[in-house]
Amino acid sequence: MTAAATAASAPANSVATAPVTAVPLPRTAPRPASARAARDPFIDVLRVFGMVLVVLQHWSMPLLSFADGRISTGNALAAGNGWMITWFSQVMPLVFFAGGAANAISRRSAARRGEATPAWLAGRLRRLAWPVVPLAAVWLPLPHLLLAFGVPEQPVMTASRLAGQLLWFLAIYLVAVAATTPMLRLNMVYGWRVPVALAAGAVAVDVLRFTSGLDIAGLPNIVLVWLAVHQLGFLYVDGRLRRPWVLALAGYGLGAALTAFGPYPLSMIGMPGASVSNMAPPTVALLSVGVGQIGLALALRRWIVSFAEWPGVSRALDWAGCRMMTLYLWHMSALFVIVSVVVVGLGISTPEPGTSAWLSGWPHWLLMLALAMWPLLRGFARFETPPATGPYTGGTVRILLATALVGLGLLTFTVNGFVPGTASLLGAGAIVAGLALTGSSRRALPSRGRRGVPSVPDRRADGVVI
C-alpha cells in the first residue's frame, strides 16, 4: 500500500535516519499536535473509514434467496448504475495506502530504537496472524457441526468458502509488510520513481493479460498494484504528496478513460457473470481509481484531521482502532448468522435493489447485522493483542520462513476457505507453525514503568498493523 539527497550507498539500517516523531504534511495542511507523538490522525481515520466501508459494502450488496436446499446469491450493485458506487466504496487502495504510512512510521521508529528488521517483522507478523487463529478454530469444526445438525450442505459450503476468502487481504498485506524495509530503502533513493516503476509493471502485465486472453497472466498485479499503493504511503510520510487535487483528477480521469475506451469493466469490484474483474486480479484501472481516492482524501486532509481531533471522535477512533481486525475477520460470520435465520430459516428473500422494500428494509437489515456482530467483537477483539513473548532472537532466515508459512496458510484459506478437507487443516497448521517461529528462545518479562507497573504498549503508537 526522504529527500533525494540520500545516497545510494546508505548503510543497511539507514531507515533510522528518516524522521519518525513527526509526519511531514502537505504545504497547505497544518501540522496536528498528534504528529509529534509519531501518530497521524489522518491515517487513523482512513483505516477505520476504509474497514467500516468494506464491511458496509459486504453487508449491503448481497441479494439472497433460498429454495430446494440451495441458496442463490446476487449483487445489488450490479443493477442499473450501481457500478458508480464502487468508485468510492472499493476502498482497499485507501487501506493499503494507510498501511504503507503506518508501516513506514513503525519501521523507522523501531530502527531508531535499534530494533533490527527481523525482530520488527516478527512483531508485525504476530499481530497480523494471531487474530486468524480463533477464526480458524471456530470455522474448521463448524461446517461438520452444521451438517450433523441437518443444515443443507450447499449453504454450509458456501459460507465456509466465503469466510476464508476474506483472508486474501491479509495474504497480500503480509507481502507488503515483509517488503517494507527494502522498499523504504528504495523510497529513500528513488522516491516517486518506485511507485511509477511498479505502475509501469502493472501496465505491462495488463497488456499481456488482455492480449493473451489469459486471466492468469494478470496474477503479478496482485503484488504490483497493491505494492504501488502501499509505496504511496511512504511518500505521504515523507511529505511528498503535495498536489492532492492533481492526484485526484489524474487518477479518476485515467480510470474513466480506461473503462470507457479500454478492456476494463466499469465496476471496481467483481460482478456476477462478468468476464473481467478489476479486482481479481487487480488492474491498472483499479490502481488509477485508487490514486484518485488517495488524492481526494489528501485534498480533504485538513478537515479530516480537524474532525478526528474532536474529543468524541478521537475516543471513537481509539475504541475502533483496536477492533478493526476483528471487525474485518468476523463480519461475514455475522452475515451468515442473520442469513441462516432470515433467509434460510424463515425463507425471506432480500428485495430487489432500489425498490421501496429494499430501501426501507436496509436499515433494519444493518441493525440485525450489527447486533449479531456485537458479541463477536466482545468475544474476539482480545485476540488483536498476541500473547506476550520475549524479544525475537531467531534471525533473518527463521522469520522469513515464518512469514512464508503464515502466507501459505492465508493463501490456502483464500483459495479453499474453511471447507472440510485436508487443505484447511494444512492451512491452519502452517499459520500455527509460522507463529511458533516468531517466538523467542527465552521468555522476557514485560518492561516495567517507573513505579514497577508493567507497561502496556499503545497499539496505535507506531502505526497499527492495518
Is the pLDDT confidence value at 46 over 70?
yes
Q: In the block, which residue shows the cell 515483509?
A: 178
Band of pLDDT at residue 393, cut at 50, 70 and 90: confident
Q: What is the pLDDT of residue 353?
A: 87
- Cα torsion angle, 457, 459, 463, 466, sign: positive
Residue with the bigger pLDDT between 449 and 372: it is 372
C-alpha to C-alpha distance for 99 and 104, rounded to whole angstroms: 8
Q: In the block, which residue shows the cell 518479562?
A: 445
Is the pLDDT confidence value at 273 over 50?
yes
254 contacts: CB under 8 Å, gap ≥ 6: 288, 291
What's the whole-number mean pLDDT along residues 299-316? 92
Q: What is the pLDDT of residue 442?
A: 52
Is the pLDDT confidence value at 23 over 50?
no
Partners of 65 in the beta sheet? 72
> Tens digits of per-residue pLDDT, 125-168?
999 999 999 999 999 999 999 999 988 999 999 999 999 999 99
Is the pLDDT confidence value at 456 over 90?
no
Band of pLDDT at residue 457, cut at 50, 70 and 90: very low
Q: Picking from 119-123, 311-315, 456-460, which range would have the lowest pLDDT averaged per residue?
A: 456-460
Is the pLDDT confidence value at 37 over 50?
no
For residue 342, report the phi and psi dihedrals to the nearest 5 degrees. -80, -50
| Helix (H), strand (E), coil (C) string for the chain | CCCCCCCCCCCCCHHHHCCCCCCCCCCCCCCCHHHHHCCCHHHHHHHHHHHHHHHHHHHHCEEEEEECCEEEEEEHHHCCCCHHHHHHHCCHHHHHHHHHHHHHHHHHHHHHCCCCHHHHHHHHHHHHHCCHHHHHHHHCCHHHHHHHCCCCHHHHHHHHHHHHHCCHHHHHHHHHHHCHHHHHHHHHHHCCHHHHHHHHHHHHHHHHHHHHCCHHHHCCHHHHHHHHHHHHHHHHHCCCCCCHHHHHHHHHHHHHHHHHHCCCCCCCCCCCCCCCCCECCECHHHHHHHHHHHHHHHHCHHHHHHHHCCHHHHHHHHHHHCCHHHHHHHHHHHHHHHHHHHHHHCCCCCCCCCCHHHHHHHHHHHHHHHHHHHHHHHHHHHHHCCCCCCCCCCHHHHHHHHHHHHHHHHHHHHHHCCCCCHHHHHHHHHHHHHHHHCCCCCCCCCCECCCCCECCCCCCCCCCCC
Do 101 and 42 contact (CB within 8 A), yes or no?
A: no
Q: What is the pLDDT of residue 5?
A: 38
Do 399 and 438 contact (CB within 8 A), yes or no?
A: yes
This prediction has a pTM of: 0.85
What's the whole-number mean pLDDT along residues 409-436? 95
Average pLDDT value over all residues in the chain: 86
Q: What is the pLDDT of residue 38?
A: 54
Candidate ranges 21-30, 349-358, 397-406; pick with highest mean pLDDT: 397-406
C-alpha to C-alpha distance for 239 and 191, rounded to whole angstroms: 11
C-alpha to C-alpha distance for 233 and 365, rounded to whole angstroms: 35
> Tens digits of per-residue pLDDT, 320-360?
988 999 999 999 999 999 999 999 989 899 998 888 998 89
For residue 62, report the phi and psi dihedrals to the nearest 5 degrees. -70, 135
What's the whole-number mean pLDDT along residues 12-20? 36
Percent of the chain predicted with pLDDT > 90: 70
